[in-house]
Each structure stands twice: as C-alpha cells, then as structure tokens.
Structure 1
Amino acid sequence: MDTVREYGLFAEGERVVVAVSGGADSVALLDLLVNLQELGLYLVVAHLNHQLRGSESDGDEEFVVRLADSYKLPVEARRVDVRKLARRQRLSLEEAGRVARYRFFDEIAATHGARCVALAHHADDQAETVLLRLLRGAGGSGLAAMRPRSADGRYVRPLLRVSRREIEEYLAGRNLSCRTDSSNSDTSFLRNRVRHELLPFLAGYNGRIASQLATTAEMLAADEELMEQVVAAAFTRYGVFENGESILNMEGVSAEPRGLRLRLYRHALRLVKGNLARIGFVHLHAIDRLLHDAGTGASLDLPDGTRVKRGYGQLIFTIGGREELSREWEVVVEGAGSYNLPGGTVLVVEHGEVPTNLREIKPTVVYLDAERVPFPLHVRNFRPGDRFAPLGMAGHKKVKELFIDCKIPRDRRWRVPLVFSMSRLVWVAGVRPAAEACLTPSTADVLKVEILGLMP
C-alpha cells in the first residue's frame, strides 16, 4: 500500500478505527489493514446503521458484525435514524448521514483512544467529489477534494489512489464477499447521477477521466499544502487569534495580493467558526469590500452567526455569543443535585450503581469512583494550560489537544464544562473522563454525573 508508506498514515502498533459499511471498498480496506502485519495495528471496526433501507440496513449491520468476528476484532455498531436527523436539522439525507457518521466515528475513536479513523474512499470517489464541487462552484482548495490524511490527522484514506475496479479484483482474488447498497443506484441523489450519468458521459471524451480527475485533485492538494503554509505565515505577520476572536491588521492585509487576502479571511473565519461550512466566495468578496470601502464601525453578518467588524485599523472576526462563552466562570458543587451552568447547560450529580454495560453509556454521562472524587466539585470552563490524564490514553494531555483530536469546534470549547475534584480535572464533560477517577473492581460508592443541554 504505497499511500500508507508515502504519507506515513499509521504508526506501528497504534489503535485505528476502521469505518466498515459492508460494501466492497470498506471490506477490502479492512482485509488489507488486517494483513498489514509489519505494522501490527490494533483495529476496531465501526459500523453505523442509518436505518434508511429497513431490513437491508439491518442486514448490512449483521454482515459487518460477523465480518469483524471472523477477524476476531472488536466491533462497535450503532443505529441512527438519519431521516429523522435530516428533518430535525433541516439537512439533506446525504448531509445528515455524513454528520451522523463522522460524529459516530469521533466518539468511537475517543472511546478506544484511537488517533485516527480509516475511511475507504477510493480514486473513483475522489473523481466524483471533484466533479460535485466543480458543479457547486469551488476554488483550488475545494477541488483538492479529499486527501490521504485530513488536515487535523483525524481521518486517513489508504485507498485514495486505488480504483473501484482494482478493489473488485482484489475481493475476487481473496474470495471475499460484500454487501451491495441498493441506494447507490438511486439517481435522485446528485452523487449517484454524477457516478452513473456524468462520469460515463465524460469517459466518451477521455477513457481515463476518473483517474485523471483523481490525479488533478492530488496535484491541487499538494499546492494547497504549500498555500496553507504561506497563509499561516501571513496570519502570524498580520493577525492574532485570542479569546475566540480573529483580528487582522488592515494596513498589512490590504497591501497583499487579492488571492492571499481572501485566503487570510478564510483562515480567520475557520479559527473563529471551527469550519468553513456555508462560507463561499461571495462572503469573502464582501469582506474584501469591507476592508477597502467601508468606514470604521461597519460590520458584515455571515452564516451561522459569524460577524466581521471593521475597527480602528483592524478587521475583527467573531461569532454570536462569543463574549459570554469566553468569559471565565466557575460553579461549586457541594453534593448531589442539579446545577445550572453558564451557556445553558445543566449538571446533574447523583449517587448510583455500577452500570451493567459501560459501552452503552452516552458521552454526556460519566460514572466516577466517589471515594477518589470527593466533594466539593468545582465546575468551570476551559482555560489555556488545562491538562489531565485522559482515560484510554498514555500519560497526560492538554485539554486543548483533546478538543482538537475530538474535533470540538473552537466556538463550542468555551461551553464545555470541566469538572474538578481537589484541583484535579476528573471529567471533560461530554468528551473524556480522567483515568484516575474512573470505576475500579473495588469501587464501593459510585457517583453518576450527567451534563444536559451540551451542543453536539
């Protein structure tokens, strides 16, 4: 697997979550990683049942569980009503499924202390993604599409240079079976129309169109890596990110070429917002007009509560409610009960019993050894420098690094309560408990702590 070696996707002996749908690509990926014996990876199979195809979806889940068992690997399977999620969050079925999958993968990785999640995207998927983004309107960063390793290192794609035909040949050679998703032929989905109609049409002009598009994406990704370094250096010269705000020096930024200015705006927005969802060229162009043509005090409202304000010689990027969330707060918990916390969350503390199945516990609930976590508890928001020894990880880790690993957006980190006992951090609520505070076979007094109202 050249991609694994070239990009150093895995470290020897590390834990890796493998996303397995049951389809040909994910079955091939799992088999390849199992047989990558020189690395000795500890694999955890993860399968999300979207509940969109009734018994067919359930059959996929059963297949994956049996497959994992045949390799003697641990498996995590969960069911999510994606159609209900789409209605609730006003998303398309495709986007709701994607949101549910990545949320699930992040939780499983955190539970097992895995650094990365292996996805089975291949070269034909890459070609489809390039065309989809081209149809929707994208610049160089968008057309770079998927990368073998995501920017944060969380997701890896070992098969990104492998074609669908090569995967099918591999399965045949290994005599491996797989599941076929009937929804992949439903052309009401745009991606399926691109796969079954547009790509075959373009193949009439270039028989290797899928391979060429994937190669183009890889070349653009290399350019993007270089540009990201240039932008980061420019932001160091002209900008600062503190207390949840990005601030750019207008004089320095305005002297730069327009291409770099627009990328600086993207960088500043990503720091504040945590992502660039719903941010398009029209918004970047509007920010550039704010820089050059507006007066001091003028502002611009962008999607998801993001705002850009022109100050005295500065462009200030913020997000709604940031001032409240970044303000330091602390609540003392004297004993069992319900406690209202800033940001709209509620902490519920009660004495309980050892749960029958620790794997089924929601991330918003933790069971602690009461003797090792004496009252009073102190609950506060995140401060720079906070660190602890998280469950499932070796040694200590900065809370900021844990947030990055678990993909907690920057605009939500200030809302996540941190629970302390005797000055020791025992739980990053909804994210990870401390190893020293968890239950042991000798635990006699169990403390159940739950956080309500925490944004996912």
Structure 2
Amino acid sequence: MNLHVPNASASAPGSALLAISGGRDSVALLHMLVSAGLKRLVLCHFNHGLRGRESGQDAAFVRRLAVHYGLPCEVEKADVITWAAKRKVSLETAARTLRYDFLHRMAAKHAAARIYLAHHADDQAETILANLCRGTGIGGLKGMVMETNSTPALCRPLLNKTRAEIADYVQKHGLSFREDSSNTSPQHRRNRLRHEVLPLLNAVYAREVSPLIVRLGKQAERDDDCLQQQALALIQEEGLITQEGRLRVTAKLRSQHPAVLSRVLYFWLGEVLGLPGLDSESLEAASSLLLPGGVAKMNLPEGRHLRRKAGYLWVTEPT
C-alpha cells in the first residue's frame, strides 16, 4: 500500500502525535509512519472508560507498542459518561470533544506541528452520509479533509484507503491489534450506518456505494474551495470588514450569488467574530439584511443580534 505522509522524515522540525486506539487502523498507521521514516512521534491514547476492563487493556496494549517502537507515550482517562450527562450531550459527542481536547493539549506539551489520525475511506463515507442525514450543506458533504490548515494540522494519510486495504496491510506485516467490542453495538448511530445502512445501499444498488460517496466528498471539497476563494477575494478587494469588526454593505456585495454571500457572512460571523451556533438558516436570514428596504435586525444564537444601519452590519452582544 502506497502512503504519502507529510513531512515524515527524521529531520522534520518538531514532534508529531499519533492518536492511537490500539485498533487495526491506528496500529497500521503507526507501522506506516515509522516505516516512512517518522522518528519524532508521540503515541497518544485516550481512554474513554466506556468498556470497563477492556478499556484498560487497550491502554496497556498501546503502552507496550510504545516500548516496542521506542516511542514516548501519553495516556489519559476521563469519565465520559459524567461529562456528557452534565452537558446534556451524546456519549459520541462527549468522547470526541474530550479526545480532541486531550490531543491538542498533548500537541502543545510536545510542540507538535501535526496530529496523525487513522480515518480511512470507509470512515469518510460514513461521515458524509451522516452529515447528509443531518441536513448539511456542501460544506458537510466534504466530510473530513486529508490535512487541515490549522495549528497543529490534523493529518489523515489513510483517507483514500479502504478498510479492506488496511486489513490486508495488517495481515501482510503480521501486526497485532485490539478489537473494540463497542464497534458492533447498535446503540451508536455510526455503527448502524456501518453495519446496516451501507450494506443495505450496497444490496439495493448491487455495488459498493462507499467509493461513490467518497467521490462526492472530493467534488464537494473542490467546489466549496472555489466558492470560499471567491468570497475571500471579494472581502479583500472591497475591504468589507472594518477594523471595528463591522461588515460594509456595498453594491458589489449585494450583487453576489447567494452561495458566495453565505460564505462572506460565515467568514465574517464565524471566523472573524467567532460566533458559535451558525447554521444555514441563520446565514440565509442574515443575507436578507443585505436587501434594500429589508429587515434591519435579526436574532443570532446566544442572545446576540445582527443589525444594519447606514450601510453596515454589526453584532450586538446580549444585554
């Protein structure tokens, strides 16, 4: 299996982290990264504590892997159930939030520029399908990206590799790994997509649909990137965002296609002002403030308001 690993060399600046569960995919990625020449690697294992003794055995297995490869290892355990109950979120959301918080803290501790994740093509298909069923727009149809522009960067070298290809790699190299019994539990929507929905779609269409879903994700990423570039170019050319954080309402802005307008508004409200909870309905409503003679005020999440006056849009904080 060919694998492109960004900056995978002994001379690469800074450390890198590998989020490792001990399962087939992350064990395979560990072997690939080491084989590709990445030496300054820190194994990071987050113990969700959801499977009792099995969870502890996973952590012990990862520690043994670290010793085998001569790599440093970080292990952390959290009470995901209690955390989720206090914040009234699902266990899946809580586990993901706590896991990524752990990874970012470890990245800061080890001055790591990259975090490697073992997501593969089948994971990508499940993610896109789940986003579609939640009513996502083109941004959600992108699914996960191979490498983010964030600091630290999230790198997914296996995103174009299937579960079957990874299984073949593990068998070829005789790699040991841990089986997660929760991966078959029907309590998790992700598992039902994997074991019920996708096999049913395969049967209905008499072919593997995952590659088609992944292809859709690549096309969505391409098209969304084009629209994002148009929006950013417009913001820069027109000087739309003032030093005070207001948005100038110009004739050229008003003349833009709704797809570009929504991205201008999302960049301003979400990226520049950092407002949470923005969805397609909020952005569509915000677009109406750009119309002459339209409404001049609308509600935003968490008690904020978006207002228009004298050719500007701005956000007022909750009183």
1:1-400 to 2 correspondences below 5 Å: 4=4, 8=6, 10=8, 12-14=11-13, 15-37=15-37, 40-152=38-150, 154-204=153-203, 205-236=205-236, 237-240=238-241, 242=243, 245-274=245-274, 278-292=277-291, 298-317=296-315
Distance in 1 (CA, whole Å) between partners of 2:209 and 2:55 is 32
Once the two structures are superposed, residues 283-316 of structure 1 have per-residue CA deviations (whole angstroms, 9 ceiling, x without a partner) of: 11111222226668x3322224553221211111
- Distance change in 2, residues 1:218/1:246 (3 Å): farther
Preserved CA contact (<8 Å) 1:295 1:310: no
Preserved CA contact (<8 Å) 2:42 2:71: yes
Tell me by how many angstroms 1:206 deviates: 4.5
Q: Which has the higher contact order (CA 8 A, sep 6+)?
A: 2
Q: Post-superposition, which runs of at least 4 consecutive aligned residues in structure 1 deviate over 4 A?
A: 8-12, 293-296, 318-321
User: Could you list the runs of 5+ residues in structure 1 that have no partner in the other structure?
Assistant: 322-456
Once the two structures are superposed, residues 316-357 of structure 1 have per-residue CA deviations (whole angstroms, 9 ceiling, x without a partner) of: 146559xxxxxxxxxxxxxxxxxxxxxxxxxxxxxxxxxxxx
1:399-414 to 2 correspondences below 5 Å: none
Q: Give the superposed CA RMSD.
A: 2.2
Preserved CA contact (<8 Å) 1:144 1:217: yes
- Distance change in 2, residues 1:111/1:47 (3 Å): same
Once the two structures are superposed, residues 117-145 of structure 1 have per-residue CA deviations (whole angstroms, 9 ceiling, x without a partner) of: 00000000000001001101111111011
- Distance change in 2, residues 1:320/1:47 (3 Å): farther
Task: Looking at secondary structure, tell me which structure has more helix per residue.
Answer: 2
Preserved CA contact (<8 Å) 1:250 1:315: no
Distance in 1 (CA, whole Å) between partners of 2:291 and 2:307 is 13
Once the two structures are superposed, residues 72-109 of structure 1 have per-residue CA deviations (whole angstroms, 9 ceiling, x without a partner) of: 10001101111111122221111111110111111100
Match of 1:394 in 2: none
Once the two structures are superposed, residues 430-452 of structure 1 have per-residue CA deviations (whole angstroms, 9 ceiling, x without a partner) of: xxxxxxxxxxxxxxxxxxxxxxx
- Distance change in 2, residues 1:315/1:109 (3 Å): same
Distance in 1 (CA, whole Å) between partners of 2:273 and 2:183 is 33
Tell me by how many angstroms 1:238 deviates: 4.7
Say which SS state the counterpart of residue 290 (structure 2) adopts. helix
Say which SS state the counterpart of residue 121 (structure 1) adopts. coil
Distance in 1 (CA, whole Å) between partners of 2:285 and 2:64 is 53
Preserved CA contact (<8 Å) 2:8 2:33: no
Tell me by how many angstroms 1:219 deviates: 2.4
Distance in 1 (CA, whole Å) between partners of 2:298 and 2:240 is 19
Tell me by how many angstroms 1:193 deviates: 1.2
Task: Looking at secondary structure, tell me which structure has more strand per residue.
Answer: 1
Return the letter of the residue paired with 1:287: A
Say which SS state the counterpart of residue 125 (structure 2) adopts. helix
Larger radius of gyration: 1
- Distance change in 2, residues 1:268/1:141 (3 Å): same
Distance in 2 (CA, whole Å) between partners of 1:129 and 1:240 is 34
Say which SS state the counterpart of residue 291 (structure 1) adopts. coil
- Distance change in 2, residues 1:294/1:102 (3 Å): farther
